[in-house]
């Protein structure tokens, strides 16, 4: 009367074994659901992590810029609770970050990371009658390698070569190709402000991101400052942190200390990150649907078994097995199918992950040649948990129906 | 004189549906401990229906039924199941053995559901039981490997598994040849005589009924007034 677990198990196992082929198909259905859920989650998270890693690699963790989030506080506002301000005009020029090296030193005194300055200037680069719009970035070749991959992305020449030539420039390889310039050529750089200078190509860079490689050019800070007409000022301090996840907190602290707008990589990519959240939501919906469909198989099998076993159910009940005991027999059968599917599905998902992860592919953008696969226990736990739960859920209904069967009708019919 | 094992008063079962059918109609019946009762009557008279009520497989529309001193009409499903498991045993015309299980496992099923004994004790008791019914050579066989008479004896062994106080048998020899019928009857008779188990057997075999301690006759769901007078052993 305790529920007789061993009895329940032996009857359930017997039923399942007697329909081995059908059970196998059901198990395979669940396994396929679990396997594909796992591989899908692995690919989704893998590509997301890969993307974020590239993002975090390619951009500063915190960017301190010469903009301000809020208009500067006016003297009247400091003295009075309310003040009417009118006739204020925003300066046309970007003010720029003043005394960048002093500021960098004071930041690096406490910041767990490194800082590098940069100046941005929009310009047109011309060579042999062809020209293209470019984003000229002035960098400090000694500091830049610590905060970005630019130094590593230089294919011909080097970042230090900027210091050796006067007015040296490194072009994105796509940009160079567009205008037909090579290392050693002299190009003309012109800005909207009227500044024009000739610069010597001392290197080519290749980031793997087409849009960058076709528009970026690098010079020394002071070259870009001349082009932008802002001697002694920089536009941005780029910070690379030891721990990327500290970016939000550090950005807040820097902004509080300096008053300059400090943007973490997360804030910069909020849209993208929320797109990932939506993508994950879609993924979980699809995965849920796959597993739900897989559970139909379980429903089918348990239904079939209960129909086949009405006589046995009737006699078990007449012998004195409780309704709940009979129900547990069939729920357990569903659980066996779910559990079998879960285990095979885990193996399937893992093998597919290994398989897909090892295939060499040529991606049109970027230099990666393996699909990014994430291995995470929670993918397995979630897929397995949902599969098992939906199997049990699917089995519960035919089990309940079977257990509530009235033995008299069957016994009368069979006698 | 102790109270009877079964006390039924006004036991009535009406099927509601498009046409109301009265299966059992106001039956008053006592079954004493250790009594061998035969229930006879024409086909369709309600013998099986009465047996299902007495065995708690069906619930009466009206009337009261006490088994072993316990009023059952207001018991819930679980309590009724528990009472069946511990106190009642059924034998039907069809053996209803679980087809995938051996004779021994079939007999052990109610024991395991009851969960009172250790595995060793259960196995030993089931073996003894099967041996006492002449089935020592067939314990490991599945139902489809046995003859009809053997299957029915396994079914009896299963009904006796938890040492019930009352065996309810519905034409248990209906499918058997005369030799097997004799065997089954002898087993039931011995059971009553040796262990004071009560047996209520539905049959329309009058020679079989003649061997019972008492006979009641069912006609149209009622106990017929001219039933043979009670003659307890
Ligand atoms: N589910 C049912 N619906 C309608 N009539 C039924 C049903 N079950 C039994 N009966 C009828 O009830 C009567 C009594 O049946 P039963 O108890 O099996 O009689 P017996 O066992 O004496 O042959 C019979 O006439 C039978 O046809
Ligand atoms: Mg009948």
Alpha carbon distances (Å) from B28 to A39, B5, B62, B63: 70, 14, 12, 9
Task: Mark yes or no for CB contact B92/A14 under 8 Å.
Answer: no
pLDDT score for B178: 87
Q: How distant is the Cα of A308 from the closest Cα of chain B, in angstroms?
A: 12
Contacts of B170 in chain A (CB under 8 A): 415
Residue B99 has pLDDT above 60, yes or no: yes
pLDDT at A361: 75
Output the CA B89–ligand 1 centroid distance in Å.
22
Confidence at residue A381, expressed as pLDDT on a 0 to 100 scale:
94
pTM of the entire structure?
Answer: 0.76
pLDDT at B181 over 90: no
Residue B170 tokens, joined: 């519905």
Look at residue A284 in the predicted model and tell me its pLDDT: 85
A322 contacts in chain B (CB < 8 Å) = 77-78, 81-82
Closest-CA distance, A1 to chain B, in angstroms, reads 5
Task: Kindly indicate the confidence band of residue B83, based on its pLDDT and cuts at 50, 70 and 90.
Answer: very high
Average pLDDT for B134-140: 93
Both tokens assigned to A265: 């990589």
Q: What is the pLDDT of residues B146-161, one digit of tens each?
A: 999 999 999 999 999 9
Tokens, residue B127: 């073996």
Is residue B228 predicted with pLDDT exceeding 60?
no
| Chosen from B60, B113, B116, B173 to mutate, greatest number of chain A CBs within 10 A | B113
pLDDT over 60 at B229, yes or no: no
Q: Is the CB of B44 under 6 A from ligand 1?
A: yes
How do the domains of chain A map onto residue ranges?
Answer: 2-56+272-414, 94-260
Average pLDDT of the residues of chain B: 91
Q: Do A411 and B96 touch (CB under 8 A)?
A: yes
d(CA B35, CA B189): 10
CA–CA dist B46, B169 (Å, integer): 14
Instruction: Decide whether any atom of ligand 1 lies within 6 Å of the B16 Cβ.
Output: no
Strand order in the sheet with B70-71: B21-31, B6-15, B62-67, B70-71
Q: Report whether residue B41 contacts ligand 1, using a CB cutoff of 6 Å.
A: yes
Q: Using DSSP, state whether B2 is helix, strand or coil.
A: coil
Question: What percent of chain B stands above pLDDT 70?
Answer: 95
* Residue B68 structure tokens: 């072993």
Residues in chain A predicted with pLDDT less than 70, given as ranges, are: 1-3, 68, 70-78, 83, 85-95, 362-368, 415
Residue A365 is predicted with a pLDDT of 54
Cα–Cα separations (whole angstroms), residue A155 to A99, A129, B153: 33, 25, 92
When pLDDT is averaged across residues B61-79 and rounded to a whole number, the result is: 93
> What does the pLDDT average to over B133-140?
93
- Interface residues of B toward A, Cβ cutoff 8 Å, are 48, 52, 55, 57-58, 77-78, 81-86, 88, 90, 92-94, 96-101, 105, 109-110, 112-115, 158, 162, 170-171, 174
* CB nearest A412 (choices: B48, B77, B158): B48
| Predicted pLDDT of residue A94 | 57
Residue owning the nearest CA to atom 5 of ligand 1: B21
Which residues of A touch chain B, with CB atoms under 8 Å apart?
A: 1-2, 4, 6-7, 10-11, 14-15, 18, 311-312, 314-325, 407-408, 411-412, 414-415
Q: Judge if the beta carbon of residue B43 lies within 6 A of ligand 1.
A: yes
- For ligand 1, mutation pick of B12, B14, B21 (most atoms within 8 Å of CB): B21
The model's pLDDT over B190-209, given as tens digits with 9 standing for 90+, comes to 989 989 899 999 998 888 88
Domains, chain B, in order of start with CATH, read 34-48+77-215 (3.40.50.300)
The rounded distance, in Å, linking the Cα atoms of A38 and A322 is: 39
* Residue B231, pLDDT score: 47
User: Quick one: average pLDDT of B53-73?
Assistant: 94
> Which residue has tokens 């739960």?
A389
């Amino acid at each position: 009367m305790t529920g007789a677990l061993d009895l329940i198990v032996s009857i359930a196992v017997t039923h399942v074994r007697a329909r081995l082929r059908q059970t196998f198909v059901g198990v395979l259905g669940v396994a396929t659901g679990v396997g594909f859920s796992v591989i899908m989650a692995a690919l989704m998270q893998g590509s997301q992590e890969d993307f974020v890693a590239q993002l975090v690699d390619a951009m500063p963790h915190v960017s301190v810029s010469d903009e301000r989030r809020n208009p500067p506080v006016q003297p009247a506002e400091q003295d009075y609770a309310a003040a009417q301000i009118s006739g204020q005009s925003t300066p046309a020029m970007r003010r720029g970050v003043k005394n960048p090296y002093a500021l960098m030193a004071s930041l690096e005194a406490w910041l767990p990371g490194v800082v590098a300055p940069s100046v941005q200037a929009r310009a047109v680069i011309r060579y042999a009658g062809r020209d293209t719009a470019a984003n000229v970035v002035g960098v400090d070749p000694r500091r830049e390698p610590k905060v970005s991959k630019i130094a590593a992305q230089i294919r011909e020449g080097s970042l230090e070569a900027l210091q050796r030539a006067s007015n040296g420039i490194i072009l994105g390889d796509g940009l160079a190709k567009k205008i037909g310039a090579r290392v050693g050529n002299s190009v003309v750089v012109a800005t909207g402000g009227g500044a024009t200078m000739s610069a010597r190509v001392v290197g080519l860079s290749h980031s793997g991101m087409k849009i960058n490689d076709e528009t970026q050019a690098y010079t020394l800070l002071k070259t870009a400052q001349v082009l932008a007409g802002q001697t002694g000022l920089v536009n941005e301090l780029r910070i690379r942190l030891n721990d990327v996840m500290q970016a939000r907190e550090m950005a807040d602290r820097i902004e509080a200390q300096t008053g300059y707008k400090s943007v973490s990589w997360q804030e910069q990519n909020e849209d993208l990150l929320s797109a990932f959240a939506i993508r994950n939501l879609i993924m979980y919906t699809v995965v849920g649907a796959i597993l739900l469909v897989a559970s139909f198989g379980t429903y089918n099998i348990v239904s079939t078994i209960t129909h086949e076993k009405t006589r046995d159910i009737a006699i078990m009940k007449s012998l004195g097995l409780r309704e709940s005991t009979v129900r547990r027999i069939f729920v357990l059968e569903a659980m066996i199918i779910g559990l079998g599917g879960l285990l095979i599905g885990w193996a399937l998902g893992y093998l597919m992950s290994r398989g897909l992860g090892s295939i060499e592919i040529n991606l049109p953008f970027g230099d990666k040649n393996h699909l990014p696969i994430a291995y995470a226990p929670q993918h397995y736990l979630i897929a397995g948990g949902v599969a098992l739960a939906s199997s049990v859920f699917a089995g519960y209904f035919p089990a309940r129906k079977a257990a509530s069967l009235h033995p008299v009708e069957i016994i009368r019919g069979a006698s | 004189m102790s109270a009877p094992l079964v006390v039924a008063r006004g036991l009535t079962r009406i099927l509601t549906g498009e046409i109301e059918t009265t299966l059992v109609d106001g039956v008053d019946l006592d079954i004493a401990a250790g009594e061998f009762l035969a229930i006879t009557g024409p086909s369709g008279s309600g013998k099986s229906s009465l047996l299902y009520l007495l065995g708690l497989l069906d619930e009466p529309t009206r009337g009261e039924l006490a088994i072993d001193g316990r009023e059952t009409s207001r018991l819930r499903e679980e309590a009724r199941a528990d009472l069946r498991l511990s106190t009642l045993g059924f034998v039907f015309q069809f053996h209803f053995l679980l087809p995938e299980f051996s004779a021994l496992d079939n007999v052990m099923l109610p024991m395991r559901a009851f969960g009172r004994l250790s595995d060793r004790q259960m196995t030993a008791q089931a073996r003894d039981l099967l041996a006492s019914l002449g089935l020592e050579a067939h314990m490991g066989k599945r139902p489809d490997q046995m003859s009809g008479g053997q299957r029915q004896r396994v079914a009896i062994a299963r009904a006796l598994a938890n040492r019930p106080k009352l065996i309810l048998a519905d034409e248990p020899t209906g499918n058997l040849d005369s030799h097997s019928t004799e065997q089954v009857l002898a087993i039931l008779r011995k059971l009553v005589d040796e262990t004071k188990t009560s047996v209520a057997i539905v049959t329309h075999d009058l020679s079989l009924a003649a061997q019972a301690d008492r006979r009641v006759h069912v006609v149209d769901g009622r106990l017929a007034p001219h039933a043979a007078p009670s003659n307890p052993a």
